[in-house]
């Protein structure tokens, strides 16, 4: 699996920063955002490096379903499935993407209003 050495999320996945994974499976990991926009704010990140949502077709077979399963399971485990949650991705700099490794923001734990992550 090609993992660029300058990609922050690839380095987190490789264990370089000692990030705690709230959830993980064969295809993705989830960890807490360092700048949370909600009481629960996780990043769901595929283990395979793809730059953004526009490149989702480059994911290996099963990876997209693995990411979705991980997001749903994490929401359930953290109890935000009952009240609802938001799953958001930013694709490209004009959309607010700052780390160019596909990732989803899983937000919940309170009524979500206003700007998206």
Task: List residues bridging with 41 in a β-sheet.
Answer: 107
Structural contact between residues 90 and 19, judged by C-beta atoms closer than 8 angstroms: no
In 10 A of CB 74, how many CB atoms?
24
Residue 41: active-site member: no
Catalytic hit among 41, 101, 103, 105: 103
Structural contact between residues 82 and 107, judged by C-beta atoms closer than 8 angstroms: no
Task: List residues bridging with 46 in a β-sheet.
Answer: 28
* Active site amino acids: 103
């Amino acid at each position: 699996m090609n993992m660029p050495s300058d990609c922050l999320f690839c380095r987190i996945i490789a264990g370089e920063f000692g990030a705690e994974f709230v959830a993980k499976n064969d295809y993705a990991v989830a960890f807490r955002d360092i700048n949370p926009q909600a009481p629960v704010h996780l990043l769901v990140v595929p283990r395979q490096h793809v730059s953004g949502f526009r490149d989702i077709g480059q994911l290996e077979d099963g990876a997209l379903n693995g990411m979705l399963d991980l997001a749903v399971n994490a929401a359930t485990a953290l109890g935000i499935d009952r009240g609802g949650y938001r799953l958001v991705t930013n694709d490209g700099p004009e959309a607010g993407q700052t780390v160019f490794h596909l990732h989803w923001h899983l937000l919940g734990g309170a009524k979500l209003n206003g700007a998206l992550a």
